[in-house]
Homo-oligomer: A and B are copies of this chain.
């Protein structure tokens, strides 16, 4: 009976993993994908940060372009954190406290919508405010779920 239960559990786990397995050929692909998506988002978010902090001159068109990229990219990385894809800088708590992790991801997606709307306004003050809120969302998730 014990063997049957273990087999049943294994079959159940395999079913649970199916979406991730179907999306990515192997776990390494998922890890590489999420890192790549976060890197593209990070580059453009960094540009918005540089403008917000006055490190580079504010450019409304460039800010809007980067905010659009952040908005699009904000939806992508999370599929790369499916079951069985532990690794990279991801803390194991992503999988043991997955609901909390998903809350952080949703929060970022919401902030990215506001950030893109703010960038469309075309003024530095709007960008700064939205950048600060979005950066807070990034940091909260990194503090909880990313190894340094």
Give chain A interface residues in 38-69, CB to chain B under 8 Å.
39-40, 43, 46-47, 56, 69
Q: A29 touches which one: B25, B43, B56 (CB < 8 A)?
A: B43
The docked-state distance in angstroms from the alpha carbon of A35 to that of B39 is 10
Secondary structure type dominating chain A contacts: helix
User: Is A72 among interface residues, defined by CB-CB distance under 8 A?
Assistant: yes
Decide: A40 and B43 in contact? CB cutoff 8 A: no
Residues of A within 8 A of B (CB): 22-25, 29, 32-33, 35-37, 39-40, 43, 46-47, 56, 69, 72, 76
Closest 9 CB pairs of A and B: A36-B39, A36-B36, A33-B43, A36-B40, A37-B40, A72-B72, A32-B39, A40-B40, A33-B40
The docked-state distance in angstroms from the alpha carbon of A23 to that of B59 is 12
For residue A42, give the distance in angstroms from its CB to the closest CB of chain B.
9
